[in-house]
Amino acid sequence: MGRNLQNELPFSMPRPSKNELLKRLRPNHPDEQLRFGYLGANEDLYQLIEKDRETIKRLNLSYEELASAIERLFQTDDEHVCGNRIFREYYIHSPVCPWGDFCTTGPFGLSLKVTQIFVVNKDCPEGVKTRFVQNSTIPLDYYTMLVKYDWAMIFSDLHPHLIREHHFLEGHETPYRIDPERAVRYLGLS
């Protein structure tokens, strides 16, 4: 997931044009070097946001509620949420928001913090749970499978900002997508 210096100087970043934003959101952007990106290669950002808005409304949920629930995950030391096990991963910082307006870490923040959380489905096979207990780092190749088989949800500390400020839950091709229906189920929202 190598990151460049630009990520560490978020406050000097200019706001991207619409085209630049779309490039930053796609997988394998040369500067961002995030394998999954935020949006599938052929997904339409604005249609995605509209569709998710309808789902959020249908579920009688709000962006604020969803963002706060994820924030709480990062603030608590609890080992479970809604019966599902919480596993934390530590790093120095998360990526800068693709809109160029926010970073979860200040420019001089160099200490390790929880940047990513796996909430592992209480109903997933025992072998999967064991893998989390044994491995301190879950390989990237495993992420897509975790979502495909509904074994876990992956939360980033950037998610609350993306949801609150941009109403963006990420695309269907990235395991970082915050699918509202799954979030309700995993985090016990109603």
By CB under 5 A, name the binding residues for Zn ion. 97, 99, 101-102, 165
Q: How far apart are CA 12 and CA 28, in angstroms?
A: 23
Smallest distance, Zn ion to C-beta of residue 174, A: 17
Q: Which is nearer to Zn ion, 15 or 148 (CB)?
A: 15
Cα of 109 vs its chain's centroid, Å: 20
Number of residue whose CB is nearest Zn ion: 97
Amino acid at 150: D
Q: Which is nearer to Zn ion, 68 or 138 (CB)?
A: 68
Residue 4 tokens, joined? 């460049």
Residue 9's contacts (CB-CB under 8 Å, 6 or more residues apart) are 107
Q: Which is nearer to Zn ion, 154 or 162 (CB)?
A: 162
Smallest distance, Zn ion to C-beta of residue 170, A: 13
Smallest distance, Zn ion to C-beta of residue 161, A: 6
